[in-house]
């Protein structure tokens, strides 16, 4: 099947892109890497009146350290660039699990965050780190937490005329990442990211809910005291108990819950040795 007809615009600035998007009156879509959008168009699950290609917009493909504790990633930074960067090892590790090399070469950070697939790696990492997303619309630039951005599967709080331009990722003191998928490159059936930010250990779990989930009871178990094997195992069990999973053609609810416990255990255990400190 081929995409339904659409107009095409290739602006040279974000301001121009926002203006074009605004004039589309809710019928426009932003094209960055296209790894999620193009299949949707090809299956005619989406029929935008116009595609706004932002790949020629300068300044959106950079990674920079804002201060000793924050890394800013531009919306057009490809997944392959995330793998190679050294500022934030958790992002590098997670990006290795995104699709295959062709997808990582084209897929973008901003596109993944805006697409808001709860099974995708970057939304899970952003949730674990408490990332801040910068978006630009007709009224200018605003920043919002991922806690306010992700509202449902493939659904965000962005206005129809707003575009993600960058994401600020805090640099954690320690991190862990573990994913279970049928084959490497498939979407994770269970993805767990662990990050200690400002002395607070945060856990995010993807693939089992409508958005990445923070198991607060599991986090509280590790809030004070050393990360012993016993306390890590207790936290992993608590994470599994907090999950309400559904059965589908990929796995039963019981299997997903068991994998949440196992892969939370792995991510937490990994985090013991992954101390990165501030940059």
Q: What is the pLDDT of residues 49-64, one digit of tens each?
A: 999 999 999 999 999 9
Residue 265: phi and psi, rounded to 5, are: -60, -45
CATH architecture type of domain 174-273: 2-Layer Sandwich (3.30)
DSSP collapsed to 3 states, 187-231? CCCEEEEEEEECCEEEEEEECCCCCCECCHHHHHHCCCCCCCHHH
Q: pTM higher than 0.85, yes or no?
A: yes
Candidates 3.30.465.10, 3.40.50.10480, 3.30.1020.10, 3.90.1150.10; CATH matching 63-170: 3.30.465.10
Burial environment of residue 75 by CB neighbours within 10 A (0 to 12, 13 to 18, 19 or more)? buried
pLDDT, tens digit, 9 for 90 and up, residues 142-165: 999 999 999 999 999 999 999 999
Q: What residue spans in the chain does CATH classification 3.30.465.10 cover?
A: 63-170
Q: What residue spans in the chain does CATH classification 3.30.390.50 cover?
A: 174-273
pLDDT, tens digit, 9 for 90 and up, residues 9-59: 999 999 999 999 999 999 999 999 999 899 989 998 889 999 999 999 999
Distance, CA of 152 to CA of 154 (rounded, Å): 6
């Amino acid at each position: 099947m081929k995409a339904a007809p659409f107009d095409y615009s290739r602006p040279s600035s974000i301001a121009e892109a926002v203006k074009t998007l605004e004039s589309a009156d809710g019928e426009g879509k932003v094209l960055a890497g296209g790894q999620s959008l193009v299949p949707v168009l090809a299956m005619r699950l989406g029929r935008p009146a116009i595609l706004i290609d932002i790949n020629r917009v300068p300044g959106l493909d950079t990674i920079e350290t804002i201060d000793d504790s924050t890394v800013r990633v531009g919306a057009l930074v490809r997944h392959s660039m995330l793998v190679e960067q050294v500022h934030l090892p958790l992002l590098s590790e997670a990006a290795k699990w995104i699709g295959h090399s062709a997808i990582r070469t084209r897929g973008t950070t901003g596109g993944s965050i805006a697409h808001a697939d709860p099974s995708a790696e970057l939304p899970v990492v952003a949730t674990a780190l408490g990332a801040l997303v910068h978006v630009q619309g007709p009224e200018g630039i605003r920043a919002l937490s991922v806690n306010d951005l992700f509202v449902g599967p493939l659904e965000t709080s962005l206005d129809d005329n707003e575009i993600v331009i960058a994401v600020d990722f805090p640099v954690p003191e320690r991190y862990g990442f573990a994913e279970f998928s049928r084959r490497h490159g498939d979407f994770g059936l269970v993805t767990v990211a662990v990050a200690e930010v400002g002395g607070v250990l945060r856990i995010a779990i993807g693939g089992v809910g409508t958005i990445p989930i923070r198991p607060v009871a599991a986090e509280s178990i590790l809030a004070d005291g050393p990360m012993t094997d016993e306390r890590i195992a207790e936290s992993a069990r608590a994470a599994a108990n907090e999950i309400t999973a559904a059965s589908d053609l990929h796995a039963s609810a019981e299997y997903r819950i068991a994998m949440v416990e196992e892969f939370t255990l792995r991510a937490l255990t990994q985090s013991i040795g992954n101390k990165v400190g501030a940059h």
